[in-house]
Amino acid sequence: MIELLKHRQTYLLEKELAEILNVHVQTLRNWRFQRRGPEYLKFGSAVRYDPMAVLDYLQSATVRAER
């Protein structure tokens, strides 16, 4: 997944990101409404995700196990 995002040169559609994260599109919509989840761009009513912003979000959401 990370390699896919690193080499992506165009913005992701909602549906594409939902497939990558294995969540429903509605989950992404809920996250946006709650101001959670990865940063996104809005062009009118169109929502797009920058792959690098998604990577940043995933890295910040990672929880390290403590020993």
pLDDT tens digits, 3-44 = 767 677 789 999 999 999 999 999 999 999 999 999 999 999
Helix axes 25-33, 14-21, angle to 10 degrees: 100
At residue 18, what are phi and psi to the nearest 5 degrees? -60, -40
> What pLDDT shows up at residue 62?
86
The structural domain count of the chain equals 1
In this structure, is residue 37 part of a structural domain?
yes
Q: For 67, what's the count of Cα atoms within 13 Å in the CB-facing half-sphere?
A: 0
Q: What tokens were used for 59?
A: 């890295």
In this structure, is residue 49 part of a structural domain?
no
CB-neighbour burial class of residue 29 (10 A; exposed 0-12, middle 13-18, buried 19+): middle
> What pLDDT shows up at residue 61?
87
- Residue 16, domain extent: 1-42
